[in-house]
Structure 1
C-alpha cells in the first residue's frame, strides 16, 4: 500500500518549513529555519538534506526563507519560486543558480504541483496543492482571508495544512503596537482561529486530516484554539482529524492511500 507522509518541521511566526513525502519524492515547503535545524530535523526522520528533490517557496518573508542563503550555497537542489517573489528574495540570497521560476503547474511523474494566490502583504504570495493519483494535499498559511481560490483548495484536500495564527481578543489586548495589530487583522494579514474554524466548518471536508499551523507564539495558545473550535462546531463531533503544529517540534502524519 502506498502512503503520503507529512512532517511539519517548524511552524510559527519565527520560522516555517514542512516536508512532504509523496509519490516517491521528498519535497520541502519553505526554508524559514536554519540549515543546522533543518539538517537535524531531517536526520530525525532518517533523511539528509541531499535527499530533498525540490523546494517550494510560498513568499519572501523572513520566517519562510531565512535559511535559504546557506541552503543554496551548499546544496544543488531546485528551488521553485514565483518571479516577483524571486526579485525580493534575491536581495537576501547571493547564490541563485538553483532557482526555478514557477509559472505553471509542474509534474514529477505522477505528482502534480499546483499553486494559487493567497491574500497576504507579500509579493505574489501563494499556497500549494500536491496531487498524486486521487490524493490531494494543500498547504495554506499566511493569509488574511479565505478567498474563493483558497476555499476551492480546502474543499479538494484529503490532507491540509491551514493557518490558525491568532486569537482575536488575545491579539487586541496584547503588547503589539497598533499598526501591527491592524496589519495582522487585515484581509492581507493572518488567519485567526475563528476564521480558520469557520473555513473548515463551511468546507466539504469529510473525514480528512488537518494540521493547524503558523500559530503566533505571542497571540495564540493551544487552549484558546481548541476552545474556539468547540464553540464554532458545537456539540457535533469534528468530521476530520486535527493536529496542531509546533514552533520547533516535528508534527507528522502518515496516510495510506
Structure 2
C-alpha cells in the first residue's frame, strides 16, 4: 500500500507526502519551515519521520522550505543536476543527484522520475511504486508529451495539475504576456488539458484522482471538478480537489486484489 497526503497545493505553495510501510518521502516543500512542520503535525508526522525530500524543480512555490528543512533535520535532498545548480538555496544537509530517465530506490519505494515540459532548468515528476502499487504526481507541465502519457499508463492513484480555467484566465487580471506563458507548452495544464489526459488514462483500477496546483486567480474548485467529472464516465467520488491553505486527508492506494476486497458486496 502507498499512502498520499498533500500539505497544500496551489500557486502559493506545494508539498506532498508519499509513504509506504517503511518509507516516508516529502515531495517538494513550497512552504516555510515553520508552516511545513505545523502541517506535518496536522497529518500526524514530525520532520524526524521523513526519510528524504524530493524536488521536482527549483521554483519557489516548490522549494521555499527545502534548504531550511534539510539543514535543520539532516534530511537528504534528491533532485536533478539542473534543479540543484539553478536553486537559489542549495545548501542541503546532503544531496543525491539523479537523472530524470533513471529510476532509483529509497527504502522500500521505487521512484521513477520523468522529465516534464516546464519553464525550469531540469524539471521532472515522479511515479512511486511499492510492489505492484503505483502512484504518480504530475503538475507543472505545459503539455502532456507521449513520454508523460507512457509513464502514467496503468497507475492506481494520481495527482494531476488543473491550474486554470480558460475563460477565467482570459478575463482575469493577468497581462497577455503572463497569460501566454501559462498557456504555453512550458507553462501549466489547464482544466481542459487535464480532463483530456484523465480520459485517456482512466481505467477500472485507478482508485483516486487528486486535482492540484489550482490558481486562486484563474480557477475554482467547482470548475476544475466539473471539467474532470465531464471526462470520466462514472465513479466521480474518486475525484477530489487539493486545497492551498490546509492539508488534505490521507488517501490509500492499494493493490487491485485488496481494492476488490474493499468493494461493497
TM-score in terms of structure 1 length: 0.92
* Larger deviation, residues 241-250 vs 220-229: 220-229
Give 2:259's aligned residue: none
Q: CA deviation at 1:92?
A: 2.6
Give 1:247's aligned residue: 244
Encode CA deviations 1:17-54: one digit per residue, 9 max, x unaligned: 00111241100000111111111111122211111001
Give 2:127's aligned residue: 129
Is the 8 Å Cα contact of residues 205 and 240 (structure 1) preserved in structure 2? no
Task: Tell me, in whole angstroms, the C-alpha distance in 1 between the residues paired with 2:177 and 2:144.
Answer: 22
SS in 2 for 1:20: strand
Residue 174 of structure 2 is aligned to residue 199 of structure 1: no
Is the 8 Å Cα contact of residues 210 and 240 (structure 1) preserved in structure 2? no
Q: CA deviation at 1:239?
A: 7.1
Encode CA deviations 1:118-173: one digit per residue, 9 max, x unaligned: 11111111010111100001111000111112112222211111101110110011
Is the 8 Å Cα contact of residues 165 and 193 (structure 1) preserved in structure 2? yes
Aligned residues: 251
Residue 167 of structure 2 is aligned to residue 181 of structure 1: no
Q: CA deviation at 1:231?
A: 4.0
Give 1:53's aligned residue: 51
Q: CA deviation at 1:68?
A: 1.8
Is the 8 Å Cα contact of residues 206 and 240 (structure 1) preserved in structure 2? no
Q: CA deviation at 1:72?
A: 2.4
Q: What RMSD, in angstroms, separates the aligned Cα atoms of the two structures?
A: 1.6
Residue 159 of structure 2 is aligned to residue 154 of structure 1: no
* Larger deviation, residues 101-110 vs 5-14: 101-110
1:59-74 correspondence to structure 2 within 5 Å:
59-74=57-72
Task: Tell me, in whole angstroms, the C-alpha distance in 1 between the residues paired with 2:228 and 2:253.
Answer: 24
SS in 2 for 1:64: helix
1:94-243 correspondence to structure 2 within 5 Å:
95-103=91-99, 104-208=102-206, 209-233=208-232, 236-238=233-235, 241-243=238-240
* Larger deviation, residues 98-107 vs 52-61: 98-107
Task: Tell me, in whole angstroms, the C-alpha distance in 2 between the residues paired with 1:154 and 1:161.
Answer: 11
Encode CA deviations 1:60-91: one digit per residue, 9 max, x unaligned: 001000112321221111100100110011x3
Task: Tell me, in whole angstroms, the C-alpha distance in 2 between the residues paired with 1:238 and 1:43.
Answer: 32
Uncovered stretches (5+) of structure 2, i.e. residues with no partner = 256-265
Uncovered stretches (5+) of structure 1, i.e. residues with no partner = none
Task: Tell me, in whole angstroms, the C-alpha distance in 1 between the residues paired with 2:220 and 2:202.
Answer: 27
Task: Tell me, in whole angstroms, the C-alpha distance in 2 between the residues paired with 1:166 and 1:145.
Answer: 13
Is the 8 Å Cα contact of residues 26 and 51 (structure 1) preserved in structure 2? yes
Encode CA deviations 1:190-215: one digit per residue, 9 max, x unaligned: 00001001101112432421111000
